[in-house]
Every structure is written in structure tokens, then in C-alpha cells.
Structure 1
Amino acid sequence: MTISVGDKVPSATLMTMTDSGPAPVHTDEFFAGRTVALFSVPGAFTPTCSAKHLPGFIDHAEELKAKGVDEIACIAVNDAFVMGAWGKSAGADGKVTMLADGNGSFSEALGLTMDASKFGMGKRGQRFSVLVKDGVVIELNIEEPGAFRVSSAEHLLGQLA
């Protein structure tokens, strides 16, 4: 079942890269007491994700924060090392927190996975954006396969107006 507006974000442990190496991020704590703009990409370093999706959130980070977003986070079914390297190469440090859903368990709990086996990528998270306030989904934007529109930073900014 796919998560919906009004649902609580499922409990899971994600990973992020720190100066000391990979560190766990518990979703119950990460989303508690604040507003988080989370967006999911099928994979780090992939074309649309690298050319449009992540750069859009980096470019609009200050505008999102000015409209009440406490943190912006990117998630993908990749490991913390890959997510950390991608964030560094894209200039995300200090703007977008890079979260690894290495086994895809969080994406699966959200009901937002896709099969990218025909591209040699296995099970991945779908492209989406979500606005979470104190652990509860208040906006959810799921892309149609192959599309990039409603999960963009610009679309999410419009929902905050």
C-alpha cells in the first residue's frame, strides 16, 4: 500500500555519510518536530537525477527554508558511500542531506518502489517528493514512470506558497 497524505512516515533506519564514515539515521528522530522536504531519485549519478532533480533542490534550498522547511533530504536505493560522493560532487553539502536506503526497505515501506531490472538496476525507489511535518505526510508528489515534473523543487515550492 502506498503512503498517503495524513499518514505517518514509517520507522526505518537509513544511512548518511559523515566525516567518520557511514552513520545511521532513524526516521522517527529525523522527522520529529520539524518540517522536512524529502525527495527520492531512482539512483545517484543517473542522468535526470544529476542534471535536474538534485540540482533543483540545491538551487532552491534557501527559498524552501524561507517557507518553513527545516531540512531538505535526498534519498535513493544506493549505499552511503555513493550518496556521500554524489552529494559532494553536486555541491549539496549544507543544503541537502543525502540519505541512503541501501536495501530499499524504506522505499518499500512507503509503497514507492519500482523494478529497474531491465536497466540493470534492480529494485529502486520511485521518483517522488514529499513534505513531512512532525513525521506526518502533508504533501505527496509521485511521478509517472519516466517523468520529472511534480517531484521537482519548483513544484514543491509552489505547494508551500
Structure 2
Amino acid sequence: MKRIILSAIMLIGLAFTTQAQDISKNALGLRLGDNNGFGGEVSYQRGLSDNNRLELDLGWRNNDNVDGFKLAGIYQWVWNIDGGFNWYAGVGGGIGSWSYNNNNDNGTFVFAAGDIGIEYGFKEVPILLSLDFRPEIGAVNYYGDNYSSDIALGIRYQF
């Protein structure tokens, strides 16, 4: 029985890895979500293989009350659903810094992050739309209760 279950798991895994991928070598754009007060992020994706890529996101905030930045790096696995539709999951982490201007409170923080989402790459124009969920667990000087999550819409130019 164990061999049958193991064989079924291996065949399912093989089915996911043999589907043709259509991820671009580079994609640059915006990831628009709450980002824990940092707002939208400038997002860059770099294809590493047919079904793996690295995503780097930089969010920043600069106003009268607070200044800060947050840089996240996520290693992602991409699986094709159908045509230009893909789903992806990834793990990574990041670093950030914040400073409240009215009370001289500031700090630098690090965090671990996950990512799961769905995307569609248009064939006629080199645009990639995505919707993802990113939970984060903070370590040093992370704000709040050391956990946060973000749902974001991404739009990127593929080249």
C-alpha cells in the first residue's frame, strides 16, 4: 500500500514538472498592496530556470510622520495551470528600516516570508498580472505582534 501511495505522489509531481512553462526571463513592475504601511512596491522578477524565479520587492514610505523602506526577496516555484495561467509558491525573507519623525523612534528589522499566488501572462502584449498572498514573520524590531500578511495585485512588464 505504501508503494502505491508513493508511486501516486511521484506521478503527480512528475505531471506538474513536465508541463511547459512560459515564465519570462525578466519582469519589472509594481506590486500593489498594503505592505504593512509601506504601500506599493517596485517589483522585479528574474527567471532562473523553466519553473523557478527570484522576486525582489522594494517598498518605501516617506511622509511627515514616518520614513522607511522594506526589501523582500522571494524564491518562487511556478506551475502552469493552462495557457498563460500559472500558480506559484515561494519562500524568502527581507530587511527594512523605519523612523517616526515626531518622536525620534526608529529601528531596523528582518523577517521571513512566504508567498502563494496566481498569474496570467498575456501573449499579445508583454504584461503579467498577478494576485498573491504573502505572510511574514518578523524577528528583530518587527512592528506589531511579529506577524503580518499582505494581499497584493501585481502588474509587470515582461522582457
Flag whether TM exceeds 0.5 (same fold): no
TM band (smaller chain): under 0.3
Structure with a larger share of its residues in strand: 2
TM-score of the pair, normalised by structure 2: 0.26
Q: Which structure features the higher share of helix residues? A: 1
TM-score, normalising length from structure 1? 0.26
